[in-house]
Amino acid sequence: MAMTWKARLGAMLVAAAATLGLGGTASAQDYTFGWNPRSGDVWVDTWLTDVNRYGARYRDPFVDEMVRYYGAPRELVNELLGERRWAPGDVYFACSIASALGRPCRYVADMWERDHALGWGEVAKNLGIKPGSTEFHQLKKGFVPSYDRWGRDITIDADLARDFPGRPRDPGKVKAAQANKHHADNGKAATHGNAKNGSAGKAKGNAGSKGAAGKSDAQPKGQGNGNQDAKGQGKGKG
């Protein structure tokens, strides 16, 4: 009996942490169905895993995305993430498939809850969306605007590159290259500035030395005039 009570308390604490957005990124064992999407597309599986990280850390923007852009009821999304302890990636894909089919998100969620052992690829196929089909491609394409709205980088594969011409395949690498170039340019500017200041200081030092030398040369000349005056005075006395 004590173990049952502890198990219930543990489940309540996990649900509370998910509801409040605590605990950072959850692990697979924290989710009711674990985590093994098996969508039939490696790229989709990779980014659904990243959706887990985002949804666990930034719950409010994740829920807003599901509600505003995929037509899911806010109450349902919060229930799936909290009380029912779904992985954010499962919530995202269920609502994404539902939106593509024109079905309520709850309809697809119920199917996933029943058939999750089959994996998302089979569940989607049973709903009429076969991996590799045009409809499945639209699901993949939908990741990109979601990530843009979240302000999060996403790497697109060759399959999606045609849909986003001119968009870098890996924006993370582009940003890193730009940052390195910026640091290099700053280093060159600093080196140039130091060299310029050094040259100016050297020129100023040379000018000062030259002025001091000129002053030194003028002094004996003044003394020579004084000697001539003294010579003249002696001559007058004679």
Q: What is the pTM of this model?
A: 0.65
Q: How confident is the model at residue 184 (pLDDT cuts 50, 70, 90)?
A: low
Question: What digits encode the pLDDT tens for the residues 81-131?
Answer: 999 999 999 999 999 999 999 999 999 999 999 999 999 999 999 999 999
* pLDDT average, residue stretch 4-12: 43
Angle at 45 between CA 41 and CA 47, to 5 degrees: 120
Q: Can you tell me the distance from the alpha carbon of 141 to that of 159, in angstroms, rounded to the nearest whole number?
A: 9
| Burial of 158: CB neighbours in 10 Å, binned 0-12, 13-18, 19+ | exposed
Give yes or no for residue 20 having a pLDDT over 50: no
Locus of tokens 């269920």: 94
CB 48 within 8 A of CB 92: yes
Largest CA distance in the chain: 139
Give the contacts of 151 (CB within 8 A, at least 6 positions apart): none
Residue 81: phi and psi, rounded to 5, are -75, -35
pLDDT averaged over the chain? Answer: 77
Question: What digits encode the pLDDT tens for the residues 187-221?
Answer: 555 555 555 565 555 555 555 555 554 444 444 44
Q: Can you tell me the distance from the alpha carbon of 150 to that of 194, in angstroms, rounded to the nearest whole number?
A: 42
* pLDDT average, residue stretch 225-230: 43
Q: How confident is the model at residue 49 (pLDDT cuts 50, 70, 90)?
A: very high
In this prediction, residue 30 carries a pLDDT of 86
Question: What digits encode the pLDDT tens for the residues 135-160?
Answer: 999 999 999 999 999 999 999 999 99
Q: How confident is the model at residue 170 (pLDDT cuts 50, 70, 90)?
A: confident
